[in-house]
Amino acid sequence: MRIKASMSDETPYKKLKDPQLKNNIFGVPEGYFDSLKEKTHLEVSAEENRFLKKEQLKKGVFNVPDGYFDKLNEKIISATSITKEEGILGNEHLKGNAFTTPENYFEKLNAEILSKVKPEAKIIPLYQTTWFRSVAAAVVLIMVALLSIPKNEVSESELLSEISDEAIINYLEERQAIEYELLSSIEGLDAILDNMILEETSSYSFALNENPELDYDFEYLDY
């Protein structure tokens, strides 16, 4: 730690050395010091034998953790060096680990992970099986074929023109009411929606299965 040189002999303020300046400009009432002496003497003698004199009371009531003062210096130095030129980058103390683990944690961790992975047989999800994919492809093909067959029936607008506007409005309103009733009667709808969202956010596990090298974007890394 750098020690600054004493400045008392080198003060540039020479005027302060003028002895006249040292003369006292303040006064006190006459006989003040005599009475003060008596007053304090009385007070002291009265207090002399009281508990404040007892040695054990002079011991502080405050305590510090073991080795506190040994560490204090180090702490102050490390704290002050942060704001100086080198900043946090050169501060080795800061790089120290602030966290700990329970005793023997890492020894137990190995065993725990191994117990969880060993008995498990590799489960292939349904959507990854060949037969499932073939069936799915066939279903898609049939649907496409069905949809592409031209319809010979009358067009939708022609059909609708035969129904009165009022009937259509009534029908739509009724349907809306039913939907609303249905939704509000489902208990814990919020919880169901939350679960759906959760499952979607867990889709990374699917990505992991499909592509073990995780070539997907991090959706949660935002600025």
Partner 1 sequence: MDDHQIIEDFKNPTTRNKAFNVLLERYQQRIYWHIRKILIDHDDTDDVVQEVFIKVFKNLDGFREASQLYTWIYRIATNEALTFLKKRQRKQAWSIDDVNHDLENKLTSGSYIDGDEIQVKLQKAILTLPEKQKLVFNMKYFDDMKYEEISEIIGTSVGGLKANYHLAVKKIEEYLAQD
Interface residues toward partner 1, by CB under 8 A: 71, 75, 78-79, 82-83, 87-89, 93-102, 105-106, 109-110, 112-114, 116-118, 120, 122, 194, 197-198, 201-202, 204-205, 208-209, 212-214, 217-218, 220-223
Whose Cβ is closer to partner 1: residue 19's or residue 212's? Answer: 212
H or E segment to which residue 42 belongs: helix 32-47
Query: In angstroms, what is the minimal distance from the CB of 61 to partner 1?
Result: 23
**What are 171's two structure tokens?**
């029908």
CB neighbour list of residue 9: distance below 8 Å, 6 or more residues apart:
none
Between 7 and 111, name the residue whose CB sits nearer to partner 1: 111
Q: Which amino acid is at 98?
A: A
Alpha carbon distance 1, 73 (integer Å): 11
Tally of CB atoms within 10 A around 82: 14
Per the listing, tokens 């759906």 go with 196
Q: Are 208 and 214 in contact (CB under 8 A)?
A: yes
Distance of closest approach, residue 63 Cβ to partner 1, in angstroms: 18
Residue 214 phi/psi, 5° resolution? 55, 50
Q: Which is nearer to partner 1, 53 or 75 (CB)?
A: 75
| Min dist. Cβ of residue 185 to partner 1 (A) | 23
Closest distance of CB 69 from partner 1, Å: 14
CA 154 to chain centre: 63
Rounded distance, CA 131 to CA 138, Å?
11
Query: Least distance in Å: CB of 126 to partner 1?
Result: 17
The span from the CA of 144 to the CA of 184, in Å, is 36
Report in angstroms how near the CB of residue 188 gets to partner 1 at its nearest: 14
> What is the smallest separation between the CB atom of 118 and partner 1, expressed in angstroms?
7
Coil, strand or helix at 202: coil
CB 184 within 8 A of CB 196: no
Of residues 32 and 206, the one with the C-beta less far from partner 1: 206
Indicate the residue among 2 and 95 with the shorter CB distance to partner 1.
95
